[in-house]
Amino acid sequence: MPDLFGAFSYTWPIYLAGVIAYLIGSIPFGLLITRLAGVGDIRTIGSGNIGTTNVFRTGKKLLAITTLILDVFKGIFAVVIAGIYGPDCAVMAGFCVVGGHMFPIWLKFKGGKGVATTFGVIYAFSWGIGILTTVIWVVILLLFRYSSLASIISMPCAPCLLALLLPLQKHGTLPIWLPGQSQHIILFAILAFMVLSRHYGNLRRLLRGEEPVIFHRK
């Protein structure tokens, strides 16, 4: 029993960070913003998703940008605040804030796909990897016009890029300092898998040629 209590006395901040991060991630900014703007329930529009892409489909670009910023920020905020209490708390918060966005308790665990919040987590741990992953996302979007495809391709790139660049930094061959640790590779890989699993329906529509584009070329 003393060992159990001793272990819990060490790990309880990690669990607490996870719970708080989950609650932060559960805030459905897309739903709240569109309701406040008088658009209605975003879940009855387009794909029914509460994320940025579906808000964009309402034609309200400012609302979509606001949703994007807030969803990214909650990922950054959860990790940075938890990081004050240690790296393990930060990692737990990174996982749980995305989980909260995907499975929010307020919406009967039916949330978004977690792309923007995952980007926030990536930026919080490694801004360099965040920038590279964002560039990949934007390039894929501009080339093919599918937001889902951009997410499906870019998310797995984050752990791969960090795994590639950290050894270069360790051996002094990377010209710039890149924040990040080996445990973040595992976290990024888990988050990428979570995001990909949420895009299963999009992937099927992409293969059938039925996925709607996010914009049309003039």
Mean pLDDT over each residue of the chain, to the nearest integer: 92
- Among residues 192, 177, 184, which one has the least CA distance to residue 163? 184
Distance of CA 146 to the CA centre of its chain: 18
* pLDDT above 80 for 2: no
Query: Positive or negative, the Cα torsion across 126, 129, 130, 131?
Result: positive
pLDDT of residue 44: 87
pLDDT of residue 5: 46
Does residue 215 lie in a domain region?
Answer: no
Does residue 183 lie in a domain region?
Answer: yes
User: The domain containing residue 30 runs over which residues?
Assistant: 2-208
Exposed, middle or buried by CB within 10 Å (0-12, 13-18, 19+), for 18? buried
pLDDT range class, residue 8, cuts 50, 70, 90: low
Q: How far apart are CA 105 and CA 57, in angstroms?
A: 25
Does residue 128 lie in a domain region?
Answer: yes
Does residue 159 lie in a domain region?
Answer: yes
Does residue 213 lie in a domain region?
Answer: no
Q: How far apart are CA 117 and CA 99, in angstroms?
A: 10
* pLDDT above 50 for 4: no
Query: Domain count of the chain?
Result: 1
**pLDDT tens string 38-93:** 988 888 887 788 889 889 888 889 999 999 999 999 999 999 999 999 999 999 99
Does residue 166 lie in a domain region?
Answer: yes
Q: Which residue has the tokens 């501009």?
A: 142
Q: What is the mean pLDDT of residues 187-202?
A: 97
pLDDT range class, residue 16, cuts 50, 70, 90: very high
pLDDT of residue 36: 93
**pLDDT tens string 118-165:** 999 999 999 999 999 999 999 999 999 999 999 999 999 999 999 999
Q: How far apart are CA 188 and CA 120, in angstroms?
A: 11
Does residue 62 lie in a domain region?
Answer: yes
Q: How far apart are CA 21 and CA 183, in angstroms?
A: 19
Q: How far apart are CA 63 and CA 125, in angstroms?
A: 27
pLDDT of residue 218: 64
- Cα distances (Å, whole numbers) of residue 129 to 74, 98, 142: 18, 18, 20
Does residue 74 lie in a domain region?
Answer: yes
